[in-house]
Amino acid sequence: MIDWEKNSEEILSRALLAGEEGKTLPEILALFPQNQEEIREIFEIIAELSAQKDGLNPAPEILENILSNLAAAKKNKNDSNIKGRLFFSLNIIKKELFMTQKLKIAVPVLAVLVLVVAGAYIYIGNQAKTISVTENEIFAALESELIQEAALAGESDADINVALADEQIINQFNQTYDDSQL
């Protein structure tokens, strides 16, 4: 017996060819006595497929509908040719739209990525700005404190001067005032 698994394509090809040449099924089976079962089953499938033809006929209304739309399509095509001289071709626009449809996943993902990156950039920028403002404020506060301290020091010197001036006046008074003269 010829091994069906190994030689099935060759056997079947020869059997199909014999069928196309007009041989009947019994004649074909007689050519392949060792593989009759397999060939019979496959020819039954072919017969069943061929028998589906009649059951798969379209409704006549569909064709009528298509034919009635053809004139309109031709008119639209002519219109499109005229418009095409002035505007972008409708086909190009359609293709662009189709490409957008093809990128249905990529575009939103890219948009989200852009938003995330932009958000992160803005956030980091704000953080840096906050830090620099804080530093400036600290410097300003320190400077202000130094100025205040300098001012206080100035006031203190003035007090000392006033005190020294008082002391000088008292000394002068003491020198001019003589108890013995009383």
Partner 1 sequence: MKEADSCRINDLILRAKNGEKAAFAEIYRDYFTPVYRYLYVRTGHKAAAEDLAQIVFLKVYLAISRFEFSAEKKLLPYFFTVARNTVIDYYRRKKIPAVDADRLWDLADPGQNGEEQIIKQEQKKEILAALRELNFEQQEAIINKYLNGLANNEIAKILGKTEAAVRQLQCRGLKKLRIILKKYD
- Give the residues lining the site for partner 1 (CB under 8 A): 8-9, 12-13, 16-17, 38, 41-42, 45-46, 48-50, 52-53, 55-58, 62-63, 65-67, 69-71, 73-74, 77, 98, 101
3-state SS assignment for residue 89: coil
Minimal distance in Å, beta carbon 69 to partner 1?
7
61-67, long-range: CB < 8 A, 24+ apart:
none
Looking at the Cβ atoms of 1 and 71, the one nearer to partner 1 is: 71
Looking at the Cβ atoms of 101 and 174, the one nearer to partner 1 is: 101
**Sign of the dihedral through C-alpha 54, 57, 59, 63:** negative
Q: Which two tokens stand for residue 18?
A: 């014999």
**Sign of the dihedral through C-alpha 158, 161, 163, 169:** negative
Minimal distance in Å, beta carbon 121 to partner 1?
36
Q: Which residue has the tokens 């013995």?
A: 180
Looking at the Cβ atoms of 83 and 129, the one nearer to partner 1 is: 83
Strand boundaries in 30-100, DSSP class E: none
Looking at the Cβ atoms of 12 and 25, the one nearer to partner 1 is: 12
